[in-house]
Amino acid sequence: MNILHETILKHPQQNIEKYTLENSQGYSVSFLNLGGTITSIMAPDKNGTFENVVLAYDHAEQYLENPYYLGALIGRVAGRIQDAQLGPYKLEANEGEHQLHGGPHGFHSVYWNVRTEKRDDAAVAVLTHFSRDGEGGYPGSLDVQVTYTLDCDNTFTIDYEARSDKDTWLSLTNHAYFNLSADSGRDVLGHALQLNAEGIAEMDEDQLPTGKWIPVKDTPFDLKTGKLVREAAESDNRHIINAGNGYDHLFLLEQRDLNQIIVQEEESGRKMTVQTSEPAAVIYTANKMDTVHPLKAEQAKGPYAAICIETQRIPESLLVPGLPTHKLAAHEAYRSRTSFTFGLV
């Protein structure tokens, strides 16, 4: 196991530091102190060629704005909040009247404190941040710790822990965009996606939840046996069309000890297995991604450039009895785990 550290951009506010976790098989995960942003996950194809399987910007300066939230930690609450309002609290809006991914000063934009630890069986980085009471409009002083672990079994795990001194709302995730065809320039229409879901959250024209769940049976959202992303993109299902001809939906996962999502791409031979303790995940196939903000030259660009898997809690408007929502009681421990295991089809 090995851990590398370098300064990639000197900045008057704070330097951007890059950390790289490496295992003995050649797999590696690189991330920044800015936003805890994952910039690279190196994994081999069927020929043994290691390439970056997450989208990355072409220049370090682009991470100061990061309009796509590429690879960033998201908080306090992932997703859209209608009218930027939670209970009596008015939040900072950043998508018209609504709030998206924690607002303009969300966790994607903060500099996290980082400490690293090299173990015999894993390379570990612990990221911490203190979010003061009222930050972004949210109540409660919040201590957050996110742990990145790359082990010898080629599994990258993200552990989230937090605690607030007041009742608040919290739903943390990571916004990495995956493309298992890596530097080929191919989009993800040929990627197969498999997951066990009971339903999806119905969305209105602004992609805000209506409060209803739609059963997945006999729809393009039934992925229990796997479907190519192309099948969704070409569907005439109105919920697919409304999202920009693809997935941008909250899936209610079948409840198990660890819920599982599988992504694979035949041509490269790569396979990624995602396991999560969370009850739901937004699957986004970059339907509305533009080409204004340059990505790495070899990577796919524009619509369907990648798949984002945002594991998270359930909004109160979609409350399901017995499952964790994004409401967090004062002094209650918030814990969540999502892991990504890389292998071959």
- Positions at the binding site: 175-177, 248
Q: How far is CA 95 from CA 108, 135, 186, 283, in A?
A: 15, 18, 30, 20
* End-to-end Cα spacing for the chain: 25
Catalytic residue among 98, 129, 175, 326: 175
The three-state secondary structure class of 84 is helix
Known binding positions for beta-D-galactose: 175-177, 248
The answer to whether 75 touches 144, Cβ cutoff 8 Å, is yes
Question: Does the annotation mark 175 as catalytic?
Answer: yes
**Which amino acid is located at 144 in the chain?**
V
Of the candidates 176, 162, 198, 152, the residue with the CA atom closest to the CA atom of residue 274:
176
> Which of 24, 17, 23 lies closest to 115 in space, CA to CA?
17
Catalytic (active site) residue 310: yes
Burial status of residue 3 (CB atoms within 10 A of its CB: 0-12, 13-18, 19 or more): middle
DSSP string, 306-343: -EEEEEEPBPGGG--TTS-BSEE-TTPPEEEEEEEEEE
Candidates 109, 154, 107, 153; CA nearest to 130 is 107
Supply 305's token pair.
Answer: 């450039």
Tokens of 148: 């990145």
Cβ neighbours of residue 34 closer than 8 Å, sequence gap 6 or more: 14, 16, 63, 64, 109, 110, 111, 112
Phi-psi region of 130 (alpha: psi -120 to 50; beta: other; left: phi over 0): beta
Please identify which of the residues 239, 265, 310, 326 carries the catalytic annotation. 310
Residues tagged active-site: 175, 310
